[in-house]
């Protein structure tokens, strides 16, 4: 700890001793350090508080750098300032040596003089010598020196205020005189026009006329006159409205549900529609976003975005400074963009093809929308209107081959469990259609097969039928295993006759020594017996396996 500030760099041993002393002071086994006044310093004060900075370090334990220094605060008052314009007394009659060559005062030199430079200074004329200023020594403190309003006289502002008030009063008086003069002229013109209209009406109809007509004429012509008390023409007058008419309902009062559209009180904006169940054409307020994305507002946003992007790329485009230029450049940009899109599309289609896939059917056909009126009954039949055509797939439909009038798979034979053609009841795929003759032949053959099966069942003896009925599933399983066994198919473990195997191996060795091949043997075999077949025995298979293993 730095309870005792030590100047200079400590050695390793001194630093260790200082640490041990600080630890002992914290534990209470060593007395606390004393400051310059003899007061103990709390050893638990952090080092960054107890250690003095280098410019206030005295080399002894102290906390004086943490206390406010005592100094005379009488000079730190804000009203303690220079007496501006104070003079020492009457001015001198003659120029004094060392005085200002311009005004003749002894308190400053020519380069520091604040008076207007004279054509001939007081040094040469001895006239109008200025009195000497009072040199004041004002000792300001920290606050007074840095106060920007120190020495300011508020009474100086009073003269400025009075000057502006006098100018404003004169301007108001002049304006009232002009308004009165203009109002008198306008009323005289109105009366003159009304009088001329009245005389014209009397000439047209001397018998009829009333004071109401005169009042109406006066009101009609008075509307074209300038309004009294305003210096504006009524035809070009622009009235300044408030943010909203006070009779209208505020946005946040349309729907008081807190879960409805959010209202931002800072910007007075409500983007969403507060009444979403009300159609937009019937709602009083549909949200700020409805106005933002309706009309020409999106076009203005696109134009502003184009101007920003163009300015970011170094082009001199500004929407507010030159809106006509921005609009023309944006139109030119859109035209070039459309042309470039068409060129890219045509180049890609000419290079890769596939234009036929871009052709789309009308939306009415894709979405099934039509203007035709169709009325259905409860059973689904069409009562009024035209029945809708069945939709077709992209695959070829109703393609008939070989004189068929039905597709393959349109008929199912329940007796044999096969599919065929419904036009001829043929179960052979891609067969030629025979029509009704084929159907009759199929029916006859199926009836004949059914009769034969029934006769075969009837010819069975009771013993055979009883034997077939008593045949268990295990017996049928054994027959299937024998029929499809590996031994019958040439696979699995085969029992070989060793003597016959040795004889077959010797015959094969003799044939190899004679130089005969399989083709020669096959030819001799064909010559020896026409149409005879040679069956490979189990010994021959074993022989071939032995020779194969030898060759490997």
Can you give the pLDDT at residue 26? Answer: 93
Q: Is the pLDDT of residue 136 over 80?
A: yes
Listing DSSP states for 440-460 in one string gives HHHHHHHHHHHHHHHHHHHHS
pLDDT digits (tens, 9 = 90+) for 421-433: 989 988 888 888 9
The residue with tokens 């094969």 is 508
Specify the pLDDT at position 198: 64
Non-local CB neighbours of 418 within 8 Å, separated by 6+ positions: 412, 427
Contact 64, 5 (CB under 8 A): no
Query: Tell me, what's the pLDDT at 218?
Result: 52
Could you state, in order of their start, the residue ranges of all structural domains in the chain? 12-66, 251-348, 399-459, 499-511+538-552
pLDDT at position 102:
94
For the segment 66-82, the average pLDDT, to the nearest whole number, is 71
pLDDT tens, residue by residue, 253-280: 999 998 889 999 999 899 898 998 888 7
- The rounded Cα 276 to chain-centroid distance in angstroms is 24
Contact 134, 141 (CB under 8 A): no
The gap from C-alpha 328 to its chain's centroid, in whole angstroms, comes to 29
The whole-number pLDDT of residue 516 equals 56
Q: How many CB atoms neighbour CB 106 within 10 A?
A: 17
The span from the CA of 542 to the CA of 507, in Å, is: 13
pLDDT of residue 185: 76
Tokens for 63? 């906390």
User: Tokens at residue 468, please?
Assistant: 């077939």
Mean pLDDT over 346-351 rounds to 92
Average pLDDT, the chain: 78
pLDDT tens profile 208-228: 444 555 555 555 555 545 444
What is the pLDDT confidence band of residue 125, given thresholds at 50, 70 and 90?
A: very high
DSSP state of 476: H
Residue 26 host element (H or E)? helix 12-27
């Amino acid at each position: 700890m730095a309870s005792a500030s030590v100047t200079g760099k400590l050695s390793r041993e001194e630093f260790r001793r200082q640490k041990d002393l600080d630890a002992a002071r914290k534990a209470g086994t060593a007395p606390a350090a004393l400051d310059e006044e003899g007061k103990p310093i709390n050893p638990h004060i952090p080092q960054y508080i107890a250690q003095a900075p280098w410019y206030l370090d005295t080399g002894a334990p102290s906390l004086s750098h943490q206390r406010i220094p005592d100094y005379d605060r009488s000079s730190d008052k804000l009203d303690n300032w220079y007496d501006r314009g104070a003079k020492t007394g009457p001015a001198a009659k003659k120029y004094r040596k060392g005085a200002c060559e311009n005004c003749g005062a002894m308190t400053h030199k020519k380069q520091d003089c604040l008076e207007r430079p004279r054509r001939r200074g007081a040094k040469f004329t001895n006239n109008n010598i200025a009195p000497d200023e009072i040199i004041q020594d004002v000792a300001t403190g920290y606050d007074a020196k840095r106060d920007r309003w120190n020495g300011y006289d508020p009474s100086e502002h009073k003269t400025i205020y009075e000057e502006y008030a006098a100018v404003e009063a004169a301007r108001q008086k002049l304006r009232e005189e002009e308004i009165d003069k203009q109002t008198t002229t306008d009323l005289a013109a109105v009366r003159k026009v009304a009088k001329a209209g009245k005389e014209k009406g009397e000439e047209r109809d001397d018998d009829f006329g009333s004071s109401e007509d005169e009042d109406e004429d006066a009101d009609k012509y008075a509307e074209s006159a300038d309004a009294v008390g305003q210096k504006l023409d009524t035809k070009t007058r622009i009235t300044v409205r408030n943010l909203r008419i006070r009779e209208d309902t505020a946005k946040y009062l349309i729907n008081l549900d807190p879960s409805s559209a959010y209202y931002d009180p800072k910007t007075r904006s409500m983007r969403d529609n507060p009444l979403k169940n009300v159609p937009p054409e019937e709602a009083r307020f549909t949200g700020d976003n409805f106005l933002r994305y309706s009309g020409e507002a999106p076009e203005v946003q696109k134009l502003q975005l184009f101007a920003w992007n163009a300015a970011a790329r170094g082009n001199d485009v500004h929407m507010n400074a030159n809106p006509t230029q921005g609009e023309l450049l944006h139109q030119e940009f859109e035209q070039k963009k459309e042309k470039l899109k068409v060129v890219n599309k045509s180049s890609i289609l000419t290079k890769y093809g596939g234009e036929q896939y871009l052709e789309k059917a009308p939306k009415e056909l894709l979405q099934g929308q039509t203007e035709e009126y169709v009325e259905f009954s409860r059973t689904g039949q069409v009562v009024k209107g035209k029945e809708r055509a069945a939709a077709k797939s992209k695959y070829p439909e109703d393609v008939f081959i070989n004189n068929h009038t039905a597709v393959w798979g349109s008929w199912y034979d329940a007796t044999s469990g096969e599919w065929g053609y419904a036009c001829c009841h043929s179960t052979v795929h891609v067969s030629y259609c025979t029509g009704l003759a084929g159907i009759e032949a199929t029916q006859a053959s199926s009836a004949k097969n059914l009769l034969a099966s029934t006769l075969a069942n009837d010819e069975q003896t009771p013993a055979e039928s009883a034997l077939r009925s008593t045949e268990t599933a295990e017996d049928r399983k054994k027959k299937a295993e024998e029929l499809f066994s590996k031994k019958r198919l040439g696979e699995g473990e085969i029992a070989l006759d060793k003597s016959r195997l040795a004889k077959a191996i010797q015959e094969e060795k003799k044939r190899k020594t004679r130089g005969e091949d399989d083709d020669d043997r096959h030819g001799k075999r064909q010559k020896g017996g026409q149409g005879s077949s040679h069956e490979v025995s189990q010994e021959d298979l074993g022989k071939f396996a032995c020779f194969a293993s030898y060759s490997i």
